[in-house]
Structure formats: structure tokens, C-alpha cells
Amino acid sequence: MKVVVSVSSGTNDPTLATLGMLAAKVAVDEGHEVVVWLQGEGVTIANKNVYDKIQGLNMPPMKAVVEALLSANVPVWVCEACAKGRNITPENWISTASYKNMSDYVSTALNMDKNLNF
């Protein structure tokens, strides 16, 4: 199954952010094709200097979840407008990240089997 996991929370709500990324990891672990879409404050997860400091309440460390997704080469799409507003650039983002825009997200979400939102 093809899944896009949309995450809008980051440092502002570490628990919700971790739940979203954990959903992506579980989907990958179950053999699904996954794309992660980060928007709003969720783009902070793409910052290699920040994601390992995000810790949700009673959640596994974000560092372990993100690094599992990176090891699986999961594409992490970063809302360009959201990221630039938070100074998240190719110089400081995680290895599978790339800028995308809302048009990319919408067209992909409409072609996926499922869209999970966090």
C-alpha cells in the first residue's frame, strides 16, 4: 500500500510529532511505500540539529524513529515555504529531505492509497 504521512507538529508538540513519525516507521516496517510530508512546525523535524532533541511524552526518542526512516531511504518532503520561514535549508536538513510545495503534496496524496495526518 502507498501511504503519505503528513506531520504538522514538531518542537511545538513533541508527542504529536513523534506519533506521526512513528506511524511512518510502522508503515515502512510493515512493508508499505511511504512518503513523509512535513508542514507547519513539523518542518523542524527535517533539521538535523533539532530532530534528535524532540522527545514526546512516553514516546520513543525521535532520534531513533527518524534514523530508522533515513536508513530505509524514506523520502521526507519539506514544505518549502514553511521551512524557509524557519531557516531550514539543504545545509541543515536530514539526508532524505527535499523541498516540495503544496501542489506536490496534493497530487501525491490523491494518488496514494492512504493519507495519515498528524
Residue range 103-112, pLDDT digits in tens: 999 999 999 9
Residue range 10-37, pLDDT digits in tens: 999 999 999 999 999 999 999 999 999 9
CATH 3.40.1790.10 correct for 2-117: no
| Mean of pLDDT over the chain | 97
- What pLDDT score was predicted for residue 5? 98
- Report the C-alpha gap between 112 and 39 in whole angstroms: 18
- In terms of Cβ atoms closer than 10 Å to its own Cβ (0-12, 13-18, 19+), residue 96 is middle
- Sequence spans of domains, the chain: 2-117
Residue range 72-85, pLDDT digits in tens: 999 999 999 999 99
Instruction: Please give the share of the chain, as a percent, with pLDDT higher than 70.
Output: 100
The answer to whether the CB of 56 falls within 8 A of the CB of 18 is: yes
The answer to whether the CB of 45 falls within 8 A of the CB of 7 is: yes
